[in-house]
């Protein structure tokens, strides 16, 4: 099941999503997290912490956790 995440502005970066959802504790951990874990944005593997996410995008983690942006 996907957890909904509300975007305050036009978009949110992948690093911001990781921090806001509690996956990482600080923004500085985003680069390390993406090197060590497989993350998919709309079913495509993503490694860029600055990837812009827009409403409707789905972010999934290898372990099955998923977020949908609103």
pLDDT in tens, 19-28: 999 999 998 8
Handedness of CA 28, 32, 37, 39 (dihedral sign): positive
- Is this model's pTM higher than 0.85 or not? yes
For the chain, give every domain's residue range: 2-69
Q: What pLDDT, on a 0 to 100 scale, did the predictor assign at position 1?
A: 76
* Distance linking the first and last C-alpha atoms of the chain: 15
What CATH number should be reported for the domain whose range is 2-69? 3.10.290.10
pLDDT in tens, 2-47: 899 999 999 999 999 999 999 999 988 999 999 999 999 999 999 9
């Amino acid at each position: 099941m996907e957890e909904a995440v509300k975007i305050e502005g036009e978009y949110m970066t992948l690093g911001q999503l990781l921090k806001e959802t509690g996956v990482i504790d600080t923004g500085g951990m985003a680069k390390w997290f993406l090197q060590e874990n497989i993350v998919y944005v709309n079913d495509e593997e993503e490694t860029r912490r600055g990837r812009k996410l827009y409403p409707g995008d789905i972010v999934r983690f290898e372990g099955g956790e998923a977020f949908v942006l609103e």
